[in-house]
Amino acid sequence: MTAVDISQVSAGLFITGAIFILLIFSLLSLGILRMFQLRFKAGWLSFAGAVASGVFFIGVLDRWFM
């Protein structure tokens, strides 16, 4: 196993990825929490928000970093 060279990753790409990863996974965990609390509508809305954030993240990556 070798070390991965991340020196070519720009600061903008790193910050964008970190923000979207935090957003997507926090919405997923919030959706799971709401489902356990039997608040199904709020849970499904959180899941939908996570999916929408993922699609938006792919769009941002495609437009700004590719």
Task: Name the more confident of 66 and 32.
Answer: 32
- Mean per-residue pLDDT for 47-63? 97
Which pLDDT does position 36 carry in this prediction?
A: 97
Domain count, the chain: 1
pLDDT surpassing 80 at residue 17: yes
pLDDT surpassing 90 at residue 2: no
Confidence band, pLDDT 50/70/90 cuts, at residue 5: confident
| Amino acid letter, 4 | V
Q: Could you list the residue range(s) of the whole structural domain that residue 55 is in?
A: 18-64
Assigned domain for 32 exists = yes
Q: How far is CA 44 from CA 15, 47, 66, in A?
A: 28, 5, 32
Assigned domain for 40 exists = yes
